[in-house]
Structure 1
Amino acid sequence: MIGQFDITRVNDGSNRPPRLEVHQSMWAMMELGEEGTELPLEAKLERIAGAGFTGILARVPDIDGRDEWKRLLNQYSLSFGSHCFPFSPTDLSTHIQNAADMDMLYVNGQVADAFVIDEEAIELLGGLATVSAAHSMPFYVETHRGKITQDLIRTAQYTQALPNLRFTLDVSHYVLAGEMTEKQEKAERLLETVLQRTSVIHSRISSGEQIQVDVGFSDAMLTRYEQWWTQAMRYWLQGAKPGDVLPFVCELGPAPYAIKGLEGRELSSRWEQALILKNVAQACWKHATVE
């Protein structure tokens, strides 16, 4: 159950100090297995929990399999955040009501679409925030290509019009779409407004040409991502209360996000890369909390 409702942060209702939790995306677990056989659900959740992740991000499971999902999440002590792809406030309301039995920590939204702009976009985002408050369910808009947050310019404008707008920060889309491989003062200034409104972080490193590259692909790019994530954590900590949780989701997708070689195999291990990102997240949190 969600504790005292605050649209700006996830809260688990406990008296624990504000904290980072590193979660794993179930989309990132697709096509992971041995000898071409994908791991079953329980094996995936067992692996996630065994590696020290404390929650997952996934689509709401179908009714037929929902009892198994809930049993396994409870068995492995994993929290649950859900994906939503709303075109309207009604879509979000329906999503929340349909998943009422899933004990969701929050809802992550990829809001459609990239061609909804200006006042129409502001009205839609404001309506989604109203639904979130009405259901006492935290809802965060993911910064994503091809969605309402297509670019930094319009996204920063939304923050000026909507004081309660909060984001799931995925910088990889802006780096790819804007080729932000080197510091650009205008881009950094706009991104700062998004960092100030971040309530969840999705971790993936992109270049100016590829949406997903290995953590060790470029030390310079890794350093920039670490700086962005750490700064978002610092902003999140301002005013954070007992029970507040900052989910940091490792979200390394299968192909075409992952790069395959001529033999049709991914060039690196997404699972091993997720474990590296987990360590990066914890290092960023240490810097954010001691400086």
Structure 2
Amino acid sequence: MELLFLCPLWGSEQLPFTEFVANAKAAGYDGVEVAFPTDRKVCREWVAAIRDHDLCFVAQHWDTLTADYDKHGPVYLDRLSQLAETEPLFINSHSGRDHFSFIQNQALLASADGLSRRLGLPIYHETHRGRFNFAAHVTLQYLKALPDLKITADFSHWCCVAESLLADQPEALTLAIARSYHVHCRVGHSQGSQVTSLALPEYADALEQHLQWWAAITASARARGQKQLTFTSEFGPAPYMLNDPETGQPIADQWAMNVQVMQLVRERVQKIAE
């Protein structure tokens, strides 16, 4: 099974896009994960830059936030359709809303699945606060009800929501791992979705737990015959990254943290994928 490590555009938006992709290539990434703009001309330019650097890419959807359910669905599908035009490996989607009902979110997922089937393009649904799959126990209900549902695993959010490393939710984790087709590599803890440093001893247990989850996802993907498994390093800038109250500057280097977690994950999962 081929492993692909992706660099997030998130946190580098201030750079010219060509500089971002050059930096990703130089850092050893295989591709990038990008929330493309709505301007189709700019999208074409960005795709050309990615391909010029011999990188693969994933299109990221996060920006359908409409609170009115009746208006949400059409906006959601329009945005997914526009992202599909870039011809990514797949779309990683923040889907639904945490305050929509189970039936409402299920209908949105069904519409995304229909689009995915029509286009022949996978759409994976990222576990994320504020979305239908904001917590492990809630996501379990959807995974049981929808056997074809595929997710992007970002369990850092679940740790924050549950104020734990989820040791008391093995059923939800087991099924989520089995349905994870893409991974966002950010280490969360009981009081937040992002540790401040991978080196601090107080976060050692959280780091090891996430590495174990990512290894288990790799083993599961290999066992089901998945040809490629993608990992995006996803430590974020402010407000995920705290600022020093005296200087107002970030307390850590986001880019360096993402390169570090890429290297840690690669070391942990490479042999499992072989």
TM over 0.5, shorter chain? yes
Which residue of 1 is the match for residue 69 of structure 2? Answer: none
Q: CA deviation at 1:283?
A: 1.9
Q: CA deviation at 1:162?
A: 0.7
Give, in whole Å, the separation in 2 of the partners of 1:266 and 1:247: 28
Render the CA deviation track for 1:215-246: whole Å, top value 9, x for unaligned. Answer: 223211111001111111111112225xx221
SS at match of 1:255: coil
Change (3 A) 1:73 1:248: same
Q: CA deviation at 1:120?
A: 2.7
Work out whether 1:235 is the aligned partner of 2:235. no
Q: CA deviation at 1:90?
A: 4.1
CA RMSD of aligned residues (A): 1.9
Change (3 A) 1:91 1:80: farther
Paired residue type of 1:253: G
Farther-moved stretch of structure 1 (246-255 vs 165-174): 246-255
Gaps of 5+ in 1: 1-17, 31-37
Structure 1 consecutive aligned stretches of length 4 or more whose deviation exceeds 3 Å: 85-93
Gaps of 5+ in 2: 67-71
Give, in whole Å, the separation in 2 of the partners of 1:237 and 1:89: 34
Contact 2:116 2:123 in 1 (8 A): yes
Aligned positions of 1:20-169 closer than 5 A: 20-30=3-13, 38-61=14-37, 62-85=39-62, 86=64, 90-169=74-153
Q: TM-score, normalised by structure 2?
A: 0.89
Which residue of 1 is the match for residue 155 of structure 2? Answer: 171
Render the CA deviation track for 1:177-203: whole Å, top value 9, x for unaligned. Answer: 11114x523x23211111110000001
Q: CA deviation at 1:212?
A: 1.4
Contact 1:42 1:72 in 2 (8 A): yes
SS at match of 1:150: coil
Paired residue type of 2:122: P
How many percent identity over aligned positions? 22
RCO higher in structure (CA 8 A, sep ≥6): 1
Render the CA deviation track for 1:39-98: whole Å, top value 9, x for unaligned. Answer: 322111111011111111111232242332122111111112112245756445423442
SS at match of 1:27: coil
Contact 1:59 1:82 in 2 (8 A): yes
Give, in whole Å, the separation in 1 of the partners of 2:77 and 2:129: 24
Q: CA deviation at 1:170?
A: 0.2
- Give 1:205's match in structure 2, choosing from 150, 166, 187: 187
Give, in whole Å, the separation in 1 of the partners of 2:212 and 2:234: 18
SS at match of 2:3: strand
